[in-house]
């Protein structure tokens, strides 16, 4: 297991200054003098969570979430600290989690997720759960946003858990929080950071760290991640729903499976859902804490199909030499062929791993006109009201 001191060191390597923050919330997020309420500048009714501030209503993030009614907008400010817990959001009303920031944090239009800059995030939410025999993968998630237990389940096989006739949170947002599953390294089983199912969720200036199955966007879910960092090794972007990653760093701790392992759904299994993983204007790199014996140049695949309707699209990304030249691989020896119902596509990849001349033949190498079919609005089939388009990055 990675020690807390090592994780702090790793964050320092990956960041040099959290400069792209929320104009809407920064006055709430920055730490205040002792003589000033920590909720100064916050939306009315904001709940404050802290381990040690006497002004806090709760010492646990989950306790604050559980105190909320099922409907109505709510905001929770989380004070500086490391919170070992599981956060489970079942309410349908909009919920915003704000990580506290240093008093000198200033919103500027510069990226947070920059490999040359320090992380100013003061809040870590973490746990050490991993999947044991007989458990559903959902049991290991640090953050779950789903309407109920049945809706959070991932299931097995190419179709996963049964479709549920419910929908959970309509607008979940998190700003400047590091979510970590510290279960162990690549020798352990699945250890999720997120399980977002039957919900809309967006994340800004956050970090997500695990090894296998870091990020899950579940059935009929829509997720948007911007200006953030995701660490993983095996299938660490996986899911059933629709996930857009913009200006993120994908940090390969090792190479197992593919970076993305998506399940597609026909309209019987997921009506009205345009599924797929979309990675845009991002950086894909070997993580500074990668094991030298398991990450070598040209070994990490961009993805593999969890079922034959999988969709993954890479747009305008910089890729280092840790990317395998063929790009995508079959799922395993039992399914040795990538079927033509799978949609893998790439546009304008650059860097040593962005050379597409040896990509697998089934992949679609898009031209500029074709790439215009993949935008946030076109992927989500609307201009999503649950995304904060005013966030600077």
Per-residue pLDDT of 123-134, as tens digits, reads 999 999 999 888
pLDDT at 266: 63
Distance of CA 287 to the CA centre of its chain: 16
pLDDT band, residue 267 (cuts 50/70/90): low
Share of the chain above pLDDT 90, in %: 68
Q: Which residues have a Cβ under 8 Å from the Cβ of 266 and sit 6 or more positions away?
A: 309
Q: Is the pLDDT of residue 319 over 60?
A: yes
Which DSSP helix (H) or strand (E) runs through 78?
Answer: strand 74-78
pLDDT band, residue 98 (cuts 50/70/90): very high
pLDDT at 137: 93
- In terms of Cα–Cα distance, which of 293, 286, 220 is closest to 259? 286
Comparing 226 with 121, the larger pLDDT belongs to 226
CA separation for the pair 45, 68 (Å, rounded): 11
Burial of 389 (0-12, 13-18, 19+ CB in 10 A): exposed
Query: DSSP letter at 81?
Result: E
CA separation for the pair 154, 136 (Å, rounded): 7
pLDDT band, residue 113 (cuts 50/70/90): low
pLDDT at 14: 41
CA separation for the pair 321, 359 (Å, rounded): 14
CA separation for the pair 303, 224 (Å, rounded): 19
CA separation for the pair 27, 246 (Å, rounded): 25
Q: Are 265 and 309 spatial neighbours (Cβ–Cβ below 8 Å)?
A: yes
What's the rounded mean pLDDT across residues 324-353?
91
Max mean pLDDT range (81-90, 105-114, 224-233) = 81-90
Across 98-109, b (16+ Cβ under 10 Å) vs e yields bbbbeeebebee
**Domains, the chain, ordered by start:** 4-380 (2.160.20.10)
Q: Is the pLDDT of residue 280 over 90?
A: yes
**178-207 per-position pLDDT tens digit:** 999 999 765 568 999 999 999 999 999 999
Comparing 114 with 243, the larger pLDDT belongs to 243
Q: Is the pLDDT of residue 296 over 80?
A: no
pLDDT at 250: 95
pLDDT band, residue 107 (cuts 50/70/90): low
Q: Are 196 and 145 spatial neighbours (Cβ–Cβ below 8 Å)?
A: yes
pLDDT at 289: 80
pLDDT at 298: 59
Share of the chain above pLDDT 70, in %: 86
pLDDT band, residue 167 (cuts 50/70/90): very high
Alpha helix (H) residue ranges in the chain: 4-14, 26-29, 61-66, 149-152, 368-371, 376-380
**5-34 per-position pLDDT tens digit:** 333 334 333 433 334 678 899 999 999 999
Collapse the DSSP code of 100 into the 3-class scheme (helix H, G, I; strand E, B; otherwise coil) and give the result: coil
Give residue for tokens 């095996």: 234
At residue 128, φ and ψ (nearest 5 deg) are -125, 25
* Mean pLDDT, rounded, of the chain: 87
- 212, β-bridge pairs: 234
Strands 311-315 and 258-262: unpaired
pLDDT at 290: 80
Burial of 286 (0-12, 13-18, 19+ CB in 10 A): buried
- 312, β-bridge pairs: 277, 344
HSE-up of residue 342 (Cα within 13 Å, Cβ side): 26
Query: DSSP letter at 368?
Result: H
What's the rounded mean pLDDT across residues 53-73?
97
């Amino acid at each position: 297991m990675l020690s807390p001191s090592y994780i702090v060191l790793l964050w320092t390597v990956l960041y040099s200054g959290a400069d792209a923050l929320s104009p809407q919330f920064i006055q709430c997020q920055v730490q205040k003098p002792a003589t000033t309420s920590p909720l100064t500048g916050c939306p009315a009714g904001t709940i404050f969570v802290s381990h040690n501030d006497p002004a806090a209503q709760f010492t646990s993030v989950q306790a604050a979430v559980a105190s909320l009614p099922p409907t109505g907008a709510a905001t929770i400010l989380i004070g500086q600290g490391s919170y070992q817990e599981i956060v489970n959001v079942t309410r349908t009303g909009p919920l915003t989690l704000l990580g506290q920031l240093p008093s000198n944090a200033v919103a500027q239009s510069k990226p947070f997720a920059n490999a040359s800059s320090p992380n100013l995030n003061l809040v870590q939410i973490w746990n050490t759960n991993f999947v044991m025999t007989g458990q559903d993968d959902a049991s290991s998630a640090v953050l779950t946003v789903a309407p109920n237990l049945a809706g959070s389940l991932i299931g097995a096989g190419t179709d996963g858990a049964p479709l549920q006739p419910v929908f959970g949170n309509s607008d979940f947002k998190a700003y400047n929080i590091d979510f970590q599953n510290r279960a162990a390294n690549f020798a352990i089983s699945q250890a999720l950071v997120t399980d977002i199912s039957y919900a809309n969720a967006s994340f800004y200036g956050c970090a997500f760290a695990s090894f296998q199955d870091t990020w899950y966007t579940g059935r009929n879910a829509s997720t948007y991640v911007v200006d953030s960092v995701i660490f993983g090794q095996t299938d660490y972007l996986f899911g059933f729903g629709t996930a857009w990653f913009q200006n993120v760093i994908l940090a390969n701790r090792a190479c197992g499976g593919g970076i993305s392992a998506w399940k597609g759904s026909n309209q019987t299994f997921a009506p009205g859902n345009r599924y797929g993983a979309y990675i845009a204007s991002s950086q894909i790199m070997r993580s500074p804490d990668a094991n030298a014996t398991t990450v070598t140049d040209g070994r990490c695949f961009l993805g593999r199909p969890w079922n034959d309707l999988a969709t993954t699209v890479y747009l305008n990304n910089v890729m280092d030499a840790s990317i395998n030249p063929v790009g995508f691989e079959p799922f395993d020896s039992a399914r040795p062929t990538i079927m033509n119902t799978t949609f893998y596509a790439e546009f304008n990849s650059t860097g040593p791993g962005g050379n597409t001349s040896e990509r697998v033949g089934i992949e679609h190498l898009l031209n500029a006109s074709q790439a215009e079919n993949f935008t946030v609005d076109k992927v989500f089939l609307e201009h999503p009201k649950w995304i904060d388009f005013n966030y600077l990055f």
